[in-house]
Amino acid sequence: MSAPLDIDQLHTFIAIVDTGSFTKAADRVFKTQSAVSMQMRRLEERIGKQLFAKDGRGNRLTAEGEKLMNYARRIIRLNNEAIAAFDDNRLEGTLRIGTPDDYADRYMPEIIGRFAKTHPNVELYIVCEPSASLAEKMNRGDLDIALVTHNPRARSSDVVRTEPLCWVASANHPLKDDAPVPLAVGRRDCHWRQLACSALDADGRDYQVLFTSWSSTVVAAAVLAGMAVSVLPESALRTGMKVLTAADGFPPLPPVQIGLMKRPGLSPSLVNAITDHITACLDNISPMAVVDEMDSDVKTFPKMPRLRAGHMLPGW
């Protein structure tokens, strides 16, 4: 019978992927860099495939490494759930989590479901507000964790997901070519709105903001009704929406990022527990299917690798 995969090696492998380097991973898993390298050599020998390839001064995952990463996260998550099920010293208390409503709608069901199974004695208190408001609550100590738009110019957060930002319109209502672009966007401090307006300004495209709301439900309704164009991250696309590209006269937009804010002084065990669930759940999110009017086929978009720093992700 084949020998099972080593859990410790998988932990180290995930740490390398999450931190982007062997050196940082060594600090995270409390090992020397040589020990981390040895673990990865042994893991590659066990898999029989090369997991990393040289990329300049650093390393990148090979196709086999990407494939193993998905299995590794699932194995570690299931292992943690099994251990927690027999733990007499389970985590207890209340965890106050903040998230914009669009993130709550798309991401929170799986996060909450998995966390509740693993830590049934922890009460989750969820607040849905725009990222700027959540950052203020974090600064006041009113929240423990916040899933926000990563915007290093406005607040500090750890990047947990990166994906494309898309122009979207109704797949069933054509736009008028000779009219200013009708926009449905967030409030003035919404970074998605700022990116959209800046891109149209730079492109010399006329536009008019017709709908303003911090609620993603309201904005999506305006789009689906054929009344406006908006910008949404890939994972938030809905059936009935059409992605607009340069062929439709819309300039490209930078990728966007979701960040995680953590209250200083929060129990490390509680932070690690919820952070692991959030990271794993966001990695499992698949792009929504949308309809392209040109050929009526269902389209999906490939998941982008998570960037470690740099770009920003807005929220409503």
pLDDT tens-place string over residues 214-267: 888 889 999 999 999 999 988 788 889 999 999 999 999 998 888 899 988 877
Which helix (DSSP H) or strand (DSSP E) does residue 112 occupy? Answer: helix 108-118
> Quick one: what percent of the chain has pLDDT higher than 70?
86
| 176 DSSP 8-state letter | P
pLDDT in tens, 178-216: 789 999 998 888 888 999 999 999 999 999 999 998 888
pLDDT (0 to 100) of residue 45: 92
**What are the two backbone dihedrals, phi and then psi, of residue 273, each rounded to the nearest 5 degrees?**
-65, -50
In angstroms, the CA 170 to CA 152 distance is 32
Q: Report the 3 state secondary structure along 210-275.
A: EEECCCHHHHHHHHHCCCCEEEEEHHHCCCCEEEECHHHCCCCCCCEEEEEEECCCCCHHHHHHHH
Q: Are the C-beta atoms of 197 and 205 separated by less than 8 Å?
A: no
pLDDT (0 to 100) of residue 50: 94
Answer whether residue 169 shows pLDDT above 60: yes
